[in-house]
A = this chain, B = another copy of it.
């Protein structure tokens, strides 16, 4: 074994030098490099876009759970990680620390129950139970096997005072409220529009924006979601609108936003988000369905002087902050519980 790199480069099996996330295939050996940690996996939490793609392709009428199970097993066996080749996305996992390398900087101990906050797209993974306990109907995948964390990976201990499915759902999107808070606090009493305000990252982002002193506007696609969001008391205004229609969104939002946060995983929301934002404002794109060129060319084509951020899923302290938002906002908790039901 050669030396390890904190990025996990030493486990990339591709011919070209690429980071684990960009790699075709990872080395999944059990044996650890000195700065690594091995996790006994209990559950995979597939990225929603990835699960929907797999479901469309493998779980249609006539196909049973065997087809979608086989698809996931095939991806993991081939690539050494769960990265959907169509969507490029992964998910996260839950498990228990099984072994800690002597040089690991992560501060974990054997027996800790943790969730990984780095994507499955770069996490070496071996499935050992054929996913026999998964019915193929949900992105929550019971799984026995092991995974490896690198020196620069992140994992968070699962808190004792919250239902663990709730904690996991929060951790899955915890970068959004932390980055929203950071952006919102750079404006004075801003107007913040969250597209997809009743969703997981959306409701947390609304709570973060309101705590930071913003006037909050939640955009949702249906009256049913609007009723839910009104009940959650997170948004000063609730607007029903198809965010893929840029002119409708601009008109529905009314007074332009200082900060617009895009939390809906559907393509084609770039133009509307830009048009809904005032000159000098900021658009934060958390949706993995965002098109880089649509955003860049869209803003240029509209002569829109807005700052556009790629939503970075890592902000220091993000998991603890998001869990605190859930604890302190009953409305957020209610939306999460309903979604998990």
Interface on A for B, CB 8 Å cutoff?
5, 7, 9, 16-22, 88-90, 117-119, 121-122, 152-154, 175, 244-248, 268, 271, 275, 285, 288, 290-316
A-B contact pairs, 10 of them (CB 8 A): A17-B248, A19-B246, A21-B294, A21-B297, A88-B294, A88-B297, A122-B297, A288-B296, A291-B292, A308-B309
For A298, the chain B residues whose CB sits under 8 A away are: 19, 21-22
Residue among A153, A288, A293, A314 having the largest count of chain B Cβ atoms under 10 Å: A293
Q: A285 touches which one: B22, B122, B310 (CB < 8 A)? A: B310
A121 to B88, CA, bound (A): 27
A305 touches B315 (CB 8 A): yes
Q: A271 touches which one: B19, B118, B314 (CB < 8 A)? A: B19
B316 touches A300 (CB 8 A): no
A62 CB, min distance to chain B CBs, angstroms: 31
For A304, the chain B residues whose CB sits under 8 A away are: 312, 314
B119 touches A5 (CB 8 A): no
B119 touches A300 (CB 8 A): yes
For A310, the chain B residues whose CB sits under 8 A away are: 285, 292, 295-296, 299, 308-310
For A119, the chain B residues whose CB sits under 8 A away are: 297, 300-301
A301 to B151, CA, bound (A): 11
Residue among A118, A152, A300, A306 having the largest count of chain B Cβ atoms under 10 Å: A300
B301 touches A268 (CB 8 A): no
A115 CB, min distance to chain B CBs, angstroms: 14
B22 touches A271 (CB 8 A): yes
Residue among A88, A154, A299, A301 having the largest count of chain B Cβ atoms under 10 Å: A301
A309 touches B307 (CB 8 A): yes
A313 touches B299 (CB 8 A): yes
Given known pairs A22-B294, A308-B309, A309-B307, the reply for A299 and B314 (CB within 8 Å) is: yes
Given known pairs A88-B293, A268-B22, A294-B22, the reply for A275 and B314 (CB within 8 Å) is: no
A89 touches B302 (CB 8 A): no
A283 CB, min distance to chain B CBs, angstroms: 8
For A307, the chain B residues whose CB sits under 8 A away are: 309, 312
A304 to B118, CA, bound (A): 11
For A118, the chain B residues whose CB sits under 8 A away are: 300-301, 303
Given known pairs A7-B275, A314-B303, A315-B305, the reply for A297 and B246 (CB within 8 Å) is: no
For A90, the chain B residues whose CB sits under 8 A away are: 297
A145 to B300, CA, bound (A): 23
A287 CB, min distance to chain B CBs, angstroms: 9
Q: A175 touches which one: B20, B244, B300 (CB < 8 A)? A: B300
For A154, the chain B residues whose CB sits under 8 A away are: 303
A153 to B9, CA, bound (A): 46
For A288, the chain B residues whose CB sits under 8 A away are: 292-293, 296
